[in-house]
Amino acid sequence: MNNIARLLSLLVLIGGVFLSGISHAEDEYWEYTFRPGDTIWNIAKEHTNSVNNWTEIRELNRIYEGPDRRILPGTRIKIPVSMLKQQPTPATVIAVSGAVLLIRNNGEQEGVKVGTQLFSGDRLQTQKQQSVRLQFADQSELQIFSQSEVVLDKISHHQDTGMVDTRVRLNKGRVKTWVEKLKQDSNYEIKTPAAITAVRGTQFRMSSDENQISRTEVTEGLVSVAAGNDIRQLKDGFGIVAEIGKPLPEPVKLLEAPTIIQLKVSRTKTVKLSWAALTGAETYRYQVARDKRFRQLLLDRATTENSAELTGLEPGRHFVRLRGIDELKLEGQDAVGQFEIVKAPEGNDWEVIMTIGAGLLLM
């Protein structure tokens, strides 16, 4: 009987180890980057549901402290999501143009509409003249422009402390983000194949092209761009280009905002937009929306000319945003304006009432 009892105990022990391995294999992980003075013990106390998790976190990451018991700043560790005080919180679609495709984490596909909730692992794909704008739990927003693919790698929010962890992967295309000032220990980053851009509260644009070259352009605040072992601080009005396998170059000053000359409207309600040539600009991007925050884009196009025809517009107020693009394909500061298409007092003609400004519109 003693032999049978020992055999049963051994089987239970093996089964427990096996099940434990399955649990860890299926668990999702949150990544944390060590800061000066951090220890695994205080990380477990601050971020997980029990300070006693520190031993399991150490074993999971194969971290064994040296004689001075220090772990180098910049070291990244994985923590099972199931241990965290904060849990995943969905993002919400607040504006959409066109038939944007949503691919869920389980592979299911569906369309996107205002109010659609998005979760960690979801993927968004846009085609020509499509865009979508998301809002996260902390009110930060992300706009995804045409011909882009974005994956929400991690979106979570601690309701008690306000701490957030937002990690977005830009596989290709262009995005712009507005990040609220983050709480201590919060994280917001956008990753491309070439670089990672992290912020604490700012506005910036980011793109990744078919050659896996990424570009970051800061329009307000300060961001950190990391590629390999290189890190650059990027302040507002500057941009940087990151290429895989190459060190990060020095930041480049963005082009100034172009000067819009005039807006004219034809009988067909086509608006003619023209602007003065901008030194250093090889191309220009112009965008049109019905709201001053450009949440839902009607037009988003690029041209090498100093003018463009804005077609397909209905009567009413519109907002236009214009910027130059330099030889590095970094997009510069915005010139912004608004115009209204109205019926002329006499006859069947249309006319445009125009107000032009230079600089960035709020949100």
**Tens-digit pLDDT profile for residues 21-73:** 323 334 567 777 777 778 888 888 877 888 999 989 988 888 765 555 567 77
Q: What is the mean pLDDT of residues 103-129?
A: 92
pLDDT of residue 99: 95
Q: Which two tokens stand for residue 321?
A: 């945003």
Question: How many residues are recorded in the chain?
Answer: 363
**Fold of the 260-358 domain:** Immunoglobulin-like (2.60.40)
Domain layout of the chain by residue ranges: 25-83, 87-253, 260-358
Neighbour tally for 305: CB within 10 Å: 9
Q: Where does 87-253 sit in CATH, by number?
A: 2.60.120.1440
- The residue ranking higher by pLDDT, 294 or 138, is 294
pLDDT of residue 171: 95
Q: Where does 25-83 sit in CATH, by number?
A: 3.10.350.10
- Give pTM, 2 decimals: 0.72
Report the half-sphere exposure of 293 (CA within 13 A, side-chain side). Answer: 11
Return the amino acid letter for 227.
A
Q: Are 308 and 288 in contact (CB under 8 A)?
A: no
Is residue 16 within a helix (H) or strand (E), and if so which, with residue range? helix 2-26
Question: Any residues with CB less than 8 A from the CB of 133 and at least 6 apart, and which?
Answer: 93, 94, 95, 96, 141, 142, 143, 144, 295, 296
